[in-house]
Amino acid sequence: MNNKIKILIGVLLVAIITILVIVLIPKNKEYGDIESFTYNFGSGEGSYYEFNINIEDDKYIFTGKGYSSSDLNIKKELSTSDMKELSNIIKDNNITSWDGFDREKKDILDGDSFKLIVKYKNGEKIVANGYMLYPDNYREASKKLEEFLFKISEIEE
């Protein structure tokens, strides 16, 4: 085989590999602005919280309900800086990696659970559920998320 054919085959192989890499390797999703947010967590035996953020009349409306030593029932408007802080918590704590997590231990009664649904204006979303099983970084990331939600709920946990 002469050198021109070897070079041509080499160029074609590089082109094919480059195209495969571009097509097959997943790209980082761009999440953008949050359209709605739901986060529920707790247990049937202890405290349980439900937090939601939705857009109503072009405003972010936060609702929080909780059942623990003191009940929580709050509805209020959030600022754009609140939403930016929430977006940063999700991004900085890799909560996006929870997407698709759906696991449970069915043999445990009265355990802890969580549910997260974040929908973005660009159509992307994060959906995760767990009952006594959690994503790898759940403890650290959920703590940051819960601190933020309790802060805007104006309660101390």
CATH number at residue 139: 3.30.1560.10
Identify whether 105 is part of a domain: yes
Identify whether 12 is part of a domain: no
List C-alpha distances in Å: 100 to 75, 84, 95: 29, 24, 11
Tokens of 73: 């029932």
Specify whether the CB–CB gap between 111 and 131 falls below 8 A.
yes
Measure the CA–CA gap between 90 and 145, rounded to whole angstroms: 8
The count of domains in the chain is 1
Identify whether 57 is part of a domain: yes
Identify whether 39 is part of a domain: yes
Tokens of 58: 């072009």
DSSP H helices, the chain, are 3-24, 80-92, 138-153
Tokens of 80: 């754009």
Identify the weakest region by mean pLDDT among 15-24, 74-83, 100-109. 15-24
Identify whether 10 is part of a domain: no
Measure the CA–CA gap between 157 and 144, rounded to whole angstroms: 12
- What is the residue-averaged pLDDT of the chain? 86
Identify the weakest region by mean pLDDT among 44-48, 100-104, 111-115. 44-48
Identify whether 61 is part of a domain: yes
**What are the pLDDT digits (tens) for 42-75?**
886 778 899 999 999 999 999 999 877 667 889 9
Model confidence at 31: pLDDT above 80: no
Specify whether the CB–CB gap between 85 and 101 falls below 8 A.
no
- Domain range for 109: 34-153
Q: Is 126 strand, coil or helix?
A: strand
pLDDT at 27: 46
pTM of the model: 0.78
Beta bridge partners of 73: 65
pLDDT at 100: 95
When pLDDT is cut at 50, 70 and 90, the band that residue 20 belongs to is low
When pLDDT is cut at 50, 70 and 90, the band that residue 35 belongs to is very high
Identify whether 25 is part of a domain: no
Identify whether 129 is part of a domain: yes
Model confidence at 114: pLDDT above 50: yes
Burial readout 113-129 (b: 16 or more C-beta within 10 A, e: otherwise)? bbebebbbeeeeebebb
Q: Which residue has the higher pLDDT, 33 or 156?
A: 33
